[in-house]
Every structure is written in C-alpha cells, then in structure tokens.
C-alpha cells in the first residue's frame, strides 16, 4: 500500500499487518444504531438489519467530487470485502499528519509505545517472529490545535464520507480509535484475525440482500509511509468476510499457503 493510500477494511476479512516497516493511522466507524437495527434505515425497522464490517483501499489520483459507489465498486466490495478508491489524500495532507506526529512526540506530548511481550501479535509462530513488536500511539483527536486538525479532517473527509454513507448508512459514528501503528524494520508479523465465520456477536456479521449491503462496521487505515512489494505490509484473504468456517490456525500464522 503506497503513501497517501487509505484502507477501509471491516473486521470480517481475515487480515493483518505483516512484518515490515509501516506507518498506519486508522479508526473504526459503525452504524450508530442498535446491534442489529439501523435507526436511519426505514427498511430495517423490522429489526432484521445485521451489522458487519467492510474494507476499502485508497490511493493517489486526482480526486473527484461527490463520489458514489459504482456498480463495479459494489460488486467488488461484496465479492472481496474491500475495494480500491483512488484520489483521496494529497501530499500536503500526509505531510500535515506526519508533521503533527513528529511534533507531539518531540514535545513529549505523545509517545510511541511498544507492545509488551505478553501482547505479542505473532501467535507463537516462528514464521512471524521478529526483533521488535508493534508500536502504538493514540489520542490524536484530543491534541491541541493545530496538531489535532489533520486527523479530525480525515474523519469527515469529503472523499470518504459518501462511501461510508453507502456502506453503513447515514448517521454512522466512530466506534474505535483512532490509533497510529508503526513498526521498525525486522518487527514481528501479525497473526491473521477476523473472518466471516458464524459469530455470536452480530456486529461482526456481513451479508447482501435485496440489492444492498448490510454491514455495520468499517475500519479506515491511512498509509503514512510507502510499503513496497517486498516489505510485507497489510495482508488480507479476499472474500473471507463471507467464510462459513474459521480459518485454520496454521493459515492464520502463515505457516502454510
């Protein structure tokens, strides 16, 4: 995933940030309704709307105004659990984000915290082992101005909001995050997690019925540094948001396939 790219990915596809040097900022939206009912959706008044998750990927091309999901985008999103959306972030937007992070860390306001050994994401797999663990940073929305502004702008980005409306329905809200994820070269990998197998928590379900998406959660990830083809980076099993069985452990750990 390249610089200035965003990833919308719901919790259903099996996904992970694999071993590489990464700089990602992300947050989660949900429908803003009840567990299986979206109050802004008249068709859901019977209580039959289940929540789920989704995925989008954004890269650098000239932005177009008032985007809508085309038939092709709807098809690929339902098929794979994520789609590529072009023309979202400018170089200036990325620079503002990275400058704000660097300033707050330099000023001692923020700190990148390495996950403890107990919170390793490698799942005990020798394939995922590394020389360090993931670094996390939170609280960007609460920073003093102007350092909070580039992150607040992303939440209501005019290029992204129409897609969120189409996937979640109008009236969505922040469910989790935002958080900034970073790793150093040689860091451990991340066990694949998620998957669309049957869950007790209906907020992690996904289905398509009567010509529309029924999904309740979307994760947005913004790449703040380039990731080359050989760097690892974000990984996903396409269409796993509709899997009926849990992914075998060895596959989640990249020990097979």
pTM of the model: 0.74
Strand 173-182 relative to strand 23-30, pairing: antiparallel
Q: Chain-wide mean pLDDT for the chain?
A: 75
Q: State the pLDDT at residue 30.
A: 65
Q: State the pLDDT at residue 23.
A: 63
212 sits in which H/E element? strand 212-214
Number of domains in the chain: 1
Is residue 154 pLDDT above 50, yes or no?
yes
Inter-CA distances, 138 with 27, 157, 226, Å: 10, 20, 21
Establish if 1 belongs to a structural domain. no
Quick: pLDDT tens for 17-38.
Answer: 544 444 666 667 665 432 222 2
Is residue 157 pLDDT above 70, yes or no?
yes
Quick: pLDDT tens for 70-116.
Answer: 888 888 988 998 887 776 888 899 899 999 999 999 999 999 999 99
Average pLDDT over residues 122-134: 90
Average pLDDT over residues 165-171: 81
Is residue 57 pLDDT above 70, yes or no?
no
Q: State the pLDDT at residue 111.
A: 93
Establish if 257 belongs to a structural domain. no
Q: 22 or 207, which is more confident?
A: 207
Establish if 77 belongs to a structural domain. yes
Q: State the pLDDT at residue 45.
A: 34
Establish if 38 belongs to a structural domain. yes
**If you write DSSP's letter for every residue of 16-78 in order, what string do you get?**
EEESS--EEEEEEEE-SSBTTB-TT-GGGTTS-----EE-EEEE-S---SS----HHHHHHHH
Establish if 169 belongs to a structural domain. yes
Residue 104's domain comprises: 6-252
Contact 84/58 with Cβ under 8 angstroms? yes
Establish if 14 belongs to a structural domain. yes
Q: 205 or 44, which is more confident?
A: 205
Establish if 69 belongs to a structural domain. yes
Contacts of residue 223, Cβ cutoff 8 Å, sequence gap at least 6: 1, 2, 3, 4, 5, 6, 7, 22, 23, 24
Establish if 181 belongs to a structural domain. yes
């Amino acid at each position: 995933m390249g610089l200035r790219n965003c990833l919308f990915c719901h919790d259903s596809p099996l996904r992970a940030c694999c071993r590489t040097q990464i700089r990602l900022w992300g947050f989660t939206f949900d429908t803003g309704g009840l567990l299986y009912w979206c109050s802004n959706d008249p068709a859901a008044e019977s209580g039959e709307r289940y929540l789920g998750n989704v995925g989008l990927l954004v890269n650098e091309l000239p932005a177009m105004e008032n985007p809508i999901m085309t038939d092709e985008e709807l098809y690929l999103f339902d098929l794979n659990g994520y789609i590529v959306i072009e023309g979202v972030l400018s170089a200036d937007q990325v620079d503002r984000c990275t400058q704000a992070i660097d300033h707050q860390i330099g000023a001692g306001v923020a700190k990148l915290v390495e996950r403890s050994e107990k919170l390793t994401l490698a799942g005990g797999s020798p394939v995922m082992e590394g020389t360090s663990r993931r670094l996390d940073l939170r609280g960007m929305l609460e920073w003093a101005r102007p350092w909070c502004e580039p992150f607040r702008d992303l939440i209501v980005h005019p290029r992204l909001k129409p897609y969120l409306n189409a996937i979640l329905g109008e009236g969505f809200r922040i469910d989790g995050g935002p958080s900034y994820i970073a790793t150093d070269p040689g860091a451990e990998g991340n066990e694949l997690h998620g998957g669309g197998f049957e869950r007790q928590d209906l907020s992690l379900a996904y289905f398509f019925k009567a010509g529309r998406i029924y999904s309740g959660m979307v994760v947005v990830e913004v790449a703040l540094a380039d990731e080359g083809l050989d760097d690892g980076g974000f990984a996903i099993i396409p269409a796993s948001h509709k899997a009926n069985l849990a992914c075998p452990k060895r596959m989640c750990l990249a020990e097979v396939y």
